[in-house]
Structure formats: C-alpha cells, structure tokens
Amino acid sequence: MRLLTLISLLLLSLLAQATVYKWVDKDGKVHYSDEPHPNAEIVELKEKTLNQITLPLVSADSNDSQVIEQIKYQVVITSPAEEETVRDNNGDFQVTATVTPEIKSQYLMALKLDGKTIGQPQIGGTFKLSNIDRGEHTIVVDAMTQNGKVFASSSPRKIFLHQAAMTPAPKKQPRSN
C-alpha cells in the first residue's frame, strides 16, 4: 500500500509541472498562462529561478557607538504626563518612553525614579513600577548603548502618586451635655 502511494505521488508530481505560455493580445499587452492560446509561444523557465538577496552583515561593535554619538537623539517620556496625578492604592503605574529619531541597532533603556535606577536596563521603553510610595516623584529615562554608555536622557518629569488612606479617619463622637 505504501509503495503504491509513493509511486502515485511521484507520478502526480511529474504531471504537476505545467507549461507556461506567453502571448500578446490585440492591444499589445503581454499575457502568461498555463493554457495554450492562439499565437502563444512556450516559455522556457530556468530550473533554479530563485530570488536571492544577500544582506550585509551587521556586527555589534564600536561602530554602532560611534554612529550613535554622531546623531543627536532625544528621549521623550510619553506617559505619565508632566505633573500628572497617578491614582493607585498599590503604588503601581507604568512609564513609557521613546527615542527619536528611530535607532536601527539595539539599545537599552534605564529608568531612574528620584535619582535611583530602578531595575536593570532593558530593551524597549515600557517600565512597570509597583509598590511605589505615595507622594511627589521625579522620573528620568536614559537611552544607552549595549556597553552601558548613556547617549541620551529625557528631561526630568515630575509626577504625583496618590494613594487613598488605608484606614478610615475616626468618626467624631457627639458631645453629651
């Protein structure tokens, strides 16, 4: 049974090779088809018709750092807005930043909250913060090369984190006379 299936697949693949016909219509348009038409000629296709593109090798060497230093990049914090009040009882919020103009090579971004680096530098500009104390905070995002050299920083962004009181205020007791 397997042998019969194999033979039928081989024969089917030989029949699947179609002939390509080319002809020009009365308006001068060139047409191609797998069905013969009057005044059509057979097109011989080369066996190895492949589109091959060779890309130059990209290496992460010091040239990337030199190219980055030549261009004036800008880091912009897109969220939260300047002097925005973030309301979260758990102290969780997200910071988003972008680098312009767009950089083709990989780079890292680091978040500083009140002058202290939070976490490790990462690829991408979305930072999720959790368990941050309430109050006023200053955020700065740095863009850096793979070897840790900062090539652009955002302007400091002031935000306010608001957390509702965990314990309710004591109720006033009525006075008795």
| pLDDT tens digits, 104-142 | 778 899 999 999 998 899 988 899 998 888 899 999 999
Write the class of the CATH domain 71-162: mainly beta
pLDDT tens profile 60-111: 555 555 555 567 888 999 999 999 999 988 889 999 999 988 877 788 999 9
Residues with Cβ < 8 Å from 163, sequence gap 6 or more?
87, 88, 89, 90, 91, 134
For strands 108-113 and 135-144, give the pairing.
antiparallel
Containing H/E element for 85? strand 85-87
User: Would you say 77 and 154 are in contact if contact means Cβ atoms under 8 Å apart?
Assistant: yes
Q: Which of 75, 88, 83 is closest to 134 using CA atoms?
A: 88
Where in the chain are all domains bearing CATH 2.60.40.10? Answer: 71-162
